[in-house]
Amino acid sequence: MQDLLSIYQISGFLILFPFLVALLLFLQRKDTPLRRFTVIFSGFLIMAASVYTAVTVLLSGGHTILFRPSTHAAMEAAEMAIRLGELLLLGVVIVLSIKYRKYFCILLGALGTLPVLILEFAGRIPVTETCLRLDPMAAVMYLIAGVVGPLICMYAVGYMRDYHHHHTDVKDRTNVFLSLLFVFLGGMFGLITSDHLVWVFFFWEITSVCSFLLIGYTRSHEAVNNSFRALWMNLLGGVAFAFGILTLLYLDPMNGKVISLSELTQQGRQAPAVMLAVTLFAVAALTKSAQFPFSRWLLGAMVAPTPSSALLHSATMVKIGVYFLIRLSPMFTNTFTGVMITVIGGFTFFAASLLAISQSDGKKVLAYSTISNLGLITACAGTGTTEGVWAAVMLMLFHAVSKSLLFQTVGDIENIMGSRDIEDMHGLIIKLPRLALIMMIGICGMFMAPFGMLVSKWAALKAFVDSQSVWLVIFLVFGSGSTLFYWAKWLGKICTVIHQSVNLDDSTHGSELISMVPLTCLIVVMCFAFPWMSDFMVQPVLDETFHRNVPNVIGGADTIIMMINVTMIFLIPIGSRFLSVGSRDRMTMSYVAGVNAGDDRHYIDSYGKNRPLYLANWYMEDYFGEKVLLWPSVGISAVIVILLVLIVMGGVF
């Protein structure tokens, strides 16, 4: 019991401490050793605390622990803090919307926040015995947010210094940036731990407003526009969430007794009113996870400095949506809502992976890949089957690590070379060998055979086949083809060896390596550890969510074969070095159907002139470009979402 008590305290600490750190960082305007120390020390503290909590919960048998602030006074204070916090968030939205003349955001903000706020002040929201919860799912999220999140914050310390070195036109507000990152983390921990839906809503809005502020960091015209796009889409999700709560309170025949997430999913009641609430929550989750038709905010989010992109894409923002869908997944089993969510997810996976082919901006490819992968997770959660949820949780874990690493590498490359275009990464393996290697591991982690993402995709495929969703299978197989295409051509670009190329000065900071090296190691280790992860992390989630034990989705001989596969990938380079394969080969220049001018970038043409040579990748804009595919995709999925909400509503009224 003593142990459990301390878990409560630690999870309280994890929610409150980041806010405190944020305040401390906000006050330190100058880039002092103290500020760097604050970030790195508190980052490690948060990491340690979250890993400890997660491991304790997972090892204690993975039961759900419901709890609340220990004393009555603490509870009162927490409720008051939430009300004031909601007012504050609304205030921020109103002030900034007036400042930049985007008045419609005020309407959306008010429509979402005010009804809930009024009910709270009127005391109409039922108070539950418990409003916080720790269970295996929360533990997995603690690991994602608590390990990857702080690493990104540490990376930001070194990155921001370089960033402002190169972008002299942007006012240095690094203190605001760093403190926002920590507010985000605090909100994230709060959201994971909350069970009471109003609490969840509060933290939900924190992340919306926070991401809005982060995206608008540079205050350039583009940044402001993109940040408001992110704001209105997420506020729209917030409105859906708030109406979901209202539906539970007023339309549900249980007369609003059910106000916590765990009660909602445990009952397994699929009454029309409950399903309407679930559908509204799911739509809110779609906005957070940037699924089509709400994807455009995430694409615009890349104008912000890279750490915020890394945070939004990997450990926090977009994961909230799929986290919530996984929570709701028992409610999706054999329902119309479940089918439609699955279709939206599958469609997003397919469309985003096609769109990614046409992009040459590194961050944009990563953004489309995030949307695409989250589509897959959404589809998995929407099936409402145990296998689907297994794949969803695994995908989430692997995606968080690989994607945050990739963002960090692209950010560093941009700081060094002044460009994040994939075309400019030509010959990266010679120019910046260390970063190129890290990036190759990251990319392999996203699509190659023995690495985690592919293992989970494999499980997802099995889940879809078993749940007989033929359309989903077709989306998945065609989407896999295009995923392969856009990753492999990026990988090829990096691997190109240019003769007589100079090694660029690799100015990666120590604090950035603190983050990137562990993430790289994690990707490699997770290749080997996935059977173990399945047993100790994902299995308890399934037990809790579906209350039945499921056999390992991928196991036995397959696991061993995967291991051999991974080992080979690492042994082949080492072995051929050792056996000095090819050391006696004659070296030459590549064939250019003419006279090679001595390096790989010029040749002598038939008039004897020295001509430059440039090798570009294929992007096939005419077929897969945004102009061709983006709006139709948004349109199709918008119709699906509207139909979904209308049809479910029709069941109630």
Q: Which is nearer to another protein, 61 or 612 (CB)?
A: 612
Element (H, E) at 133: strand 132-134
Task: Tell me which residues in 240-299 interact with another protein (CB under 8 A).
Answer: none
**Closest distance to another protein from the beta carbon of 560 (Å):** 10
Nearest to 179 by CA among 139, 217, 219, 236: 217
Minimum distance from CB of 239 to another protein (Å)?
A: 38
With contacts defined by CB under 8 A, name the span among 229-237, 316-324, 396-404, 575-583 that binds another protein: 575-583
Rounded to whole angstroms, the Cα distance separating 444 from 457 reads 14
- The CA distance from 103 to 111, in Å, is 13
CA-wise closest residue to 313 among 368, 350, 362: 368
List the end-to-end C-alpha distance of the chain, in Å, as a whole number. Answer: 48
**Is 127 one of the binding residues for another protein (CB under 8 A)?**
no
Q: Which two tokens stand for residue 288?
A: 């957070």
The stretch among 101-109, 117-125, 308-316, 474-482 that binds another protein (CB under 8 A) is: 474-482
Distance CA 51, CA 59 (A): 12
Measured at the CA of 374, the angle between CA 369 and CA 375, to 5 degrees, comes to 95
CA distances from 64 to 115, 139, 196, 326, 544 (A): 31, 10, 14, 16, 7
Task: Give the nearest distance from C-beta 497 to another protein in angstroms.
Answer: 4
- Residue placing its CB nearer to another protein in the complex, 558 or 626: 558
- DSSP annotation of 593: S
Q: Which two tokens stand for residue 234?
A: 């997420």
Neighbours of 48 (CB within 10 A): 13
Minimum CB–partner distance for residue 430 and another protein (Å): 9
By CB under 8 A, the count of residues binding another protein is 60
Q: Does 449 bind another protein (CB under 8 A)?
A: yes
Write 620-629 long-range contacts (CB < 8 A, 24+). 620/357, 620/358, 621/358, 623/358, 624/354, 624/355, 624/357, 624/358, 624/482, 625/358, 626/355, 626/358, 629/351, 629/354, 629/355, 629/358
Q: Between β-strands 595-596 and 602-604, what pairing exists: parallel, antiparallel or unpaired?
A: antiparallel
Q: Which stretch binds another protein (CB under 8 A): 59-67, 182-190, 215-223, 610-618?
A: 610-618
Return the range that interacts with another protein (CB under 8 A); candidates 200-208, 443-451, 529-537, 625-633.
443-451
Which one of 110, 514, 563, 613 is in contact with another protein (CB under 8 A)? 613
Sketch the per residue contact string, 480 through 499, with another protein: x for CB under 8 A, - otherwise: xxx-xx--xx-xxx-xxxxx
Contact 321, 374 (CB under 8 A): yes
**What are the two backbone dihedrals, phi and then psi, of residue 247, each rounded to the nearest 5 degrees?**
-60, -45
How far apart, in whole angstroms, are the C-alpha atoms of residue 16 and residue 435? 36
Nearer to another protein, 334 or 590 (CB): 590
Q: How far is the CB of 135 from another protein (least distance, A)?
A: 31
Which residue lies nearer to another protein by CB, 1 or 557?
Answer: 557
- Binding flag, residue 102, another protein (CB under 8 A): no
Q: How far is the CB of 276 from another protein (least distance, A)?
A: 30
Q: How far is the CB of 587 from another protein (least distance, A)?
A: 6
Amino acid at the residue 548: R
Span interacting with another protein, options 151-159, 170-178, 447-455, 524-532, rule CB under 8 A: 447-455
CB of 405 to another protein, least distance (A): 20
For residue 500, count other CB atoms closer than 10 A to its CB. Answer: 9
CB closer to another protein, 5 vs 581 = 581
* Spatial distance between the Cα atoms of 179 and 592, rounded to a whole number of angstroms: 53
Among 582, 606, 607, 612, binds another protein (CB under 8 A): 582
Q: Which stretch binds another protein (CB under 8 A): 1-9, 163-171, 284-292, 479-487?
A: 479-487
Residue 167 interacting with another protein (CB under 8 A): no
Stretch that binds another protein, among 240-248, 468-476, 523-531, 645-653 (CB under 8 A): 468-476
Taking residues 539 to 568 in sequence order and writing x for each that binds another protein by CB under 8 A, - otherwise, the string is: ------------------xx--xx-xx--x
Minimum gap (Å) between residue 21 Cβ and another protein: 43
Which 587-606 residues touch another protein, going by CB under 8 A?
A: 587-593, 600
Q: How far is the CB of 591 from another protein (least distance, A)?
A: 5
Q: Provide the greatest CA pair distance for the chain.
A: 89
Q: How many CB atoms lie within 10 A of CB 442?
A: 25
Residues 448, 453, 541, 641: which binds another protein (CB under 8 A)?
448
Whole-number Å distance between alpha carbons of 544 and 538: 10
- Of 84 and 581, nearer to another protein (C-beta) is 581
Q: Give all strands (DSSP E) within 48-93, no chain letters.
A: 65-67
Distance CA 516, CA 40 (A): 14
Task: Find the binder of another protein among 6, 64, 270, 617 (CB under 8 A).
Answer: 617
Site for another protein in 496-535 (CB under 8 A): 496-499
Task: Tell me: does residue 429 bind another protein (CB under 8 A).
Answer: yes
d(CA 373, CA 321): 13
In DSSP terms, 82 is beta-bridged to none
Binding site for another protein (CB under 8 A): 427, 429, 448-450, 454, 458, 461-462, 465, 468, 470, 473-474, 476-478, 480-482, 484-485, 488-489, 491-493, 495-499, 557-558, 561-562, 564-565, 568, 572-573, 576, 581-582, 585-593, 600, 613, 615, 617-618, 620, 623
